[in-house]
């Protein structure tokens, strides 16, 4: 396993060891002891799985308010996404800054999204499947989001005309959103 920091020390890109032969491949996608050795101590309690049928589907930017905030460990099992995190910690010097990375079924990279970051992705291929672990259960009362194309954030999405849910169409700009405070 290889773990690297991004522009945000808390956001990690994890590349598992993959064993390939003529039959296909084997990889360990999660091992608490191994990941803990890199200082990642989240205890994941729920797995989520999404299918996005159309290329150019954006899901996000999502987060949950404290005390129900979630860390996520995200990976793609089919297709590809441009995966994005936005720092929404009001006291952070990086507040409103974003980081994006391509995750796909071939590179097998995973993204650790810590608490205090909004998360979203745009599918780069049709029929893309994303699975992710979370360390807190879903809470409808704490569920929040930020406008996907907020000019204040300026994410360089790979589409200008995404497929969006009604919920994702109605998220406020960062300047109007309830943000992460502990």
Collapsing DSSP states into helix, strand and coil, what is residue 36? helix
- Residue % of the chain over a pLDDT of 70: 98
* pLDDT over 90 (residue 182): no
pLDDT at 102: 98
Strand, helix or coil for residue 134: strand
pLDDT of residue 92: 94
Q: What is the side-by-side strand order in the sheet with 72-78? A: 2-5, 12-15, 110-113, 72-78, 128-134, 46-52
Looking at residue 179, its pLDDT comes to 85
Q: How confident is the model at residue 144 (pLDDT cuts 50, 70, 90)?
A: very high
Q: What percentage of the chain reaches a pLDDT higher than 90?
A: 97
Residue with tokens 């808390």: 10
Cβ count near 134 (within 10 Å): 20
Q: Give residue 180's pLDDT.
A: 64
DSSP assignment, residue 35? H
Query: So which residues are the catalytic ones?
Result: 62, 132
Burial tier of 132 (Cβ tally within 10 Å: 0-12, 13-18, 19+): buried
Q: What is the pLDDT of residue 162?
A: 98
H or E element that contains 34: helix 32-36
Q: What is the pTM of this model?
A: 0.95
pLDDT of res. 181: 63
Mean pLDDT of 127-142: 98
The Cα 154–Cα 128 span in angstroms is 24
Q: What is the mean pLDDT of residues 130-153?
A: 98
């Amino acid at each position: 396993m290889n773990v690297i920091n991004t522009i945000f020390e808390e956001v990690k890109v994890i590349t598992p060891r993959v064993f390939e032969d003529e039959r296909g491949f084997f990889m360990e996608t999660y091992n608490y002891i191994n990941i803990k050795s890199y200082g990642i101590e989240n205890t994941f309690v729920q797995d989520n799985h999404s299918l996005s049928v159309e290329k150019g589907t954006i899901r996000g930017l999502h987060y949950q308010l404290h005390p129900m905030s979630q860390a996520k460990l995200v990976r793609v099992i089919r297709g590809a996404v441009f995966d994005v995190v936005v720092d929404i910690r009001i006291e952070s010097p990086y507040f409103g800054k974003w980081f994006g990375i391509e995750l796909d079924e071939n590179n097998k990279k995973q993204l650790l999204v810590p608490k205090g970051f909004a998360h979203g992705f745009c599918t780069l291929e049709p029929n893309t499947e994303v699975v992710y672990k979370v360390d807190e259960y879903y809470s409808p009362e704490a569920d929040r989001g930020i406008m996907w194309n907020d000019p204040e954030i300026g994410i360089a999405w790979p589409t200008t005309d995404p497929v969006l849910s009604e919920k994702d169409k109605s998220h406020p700009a960062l300047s109007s959103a309830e943000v992460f405070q502990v």
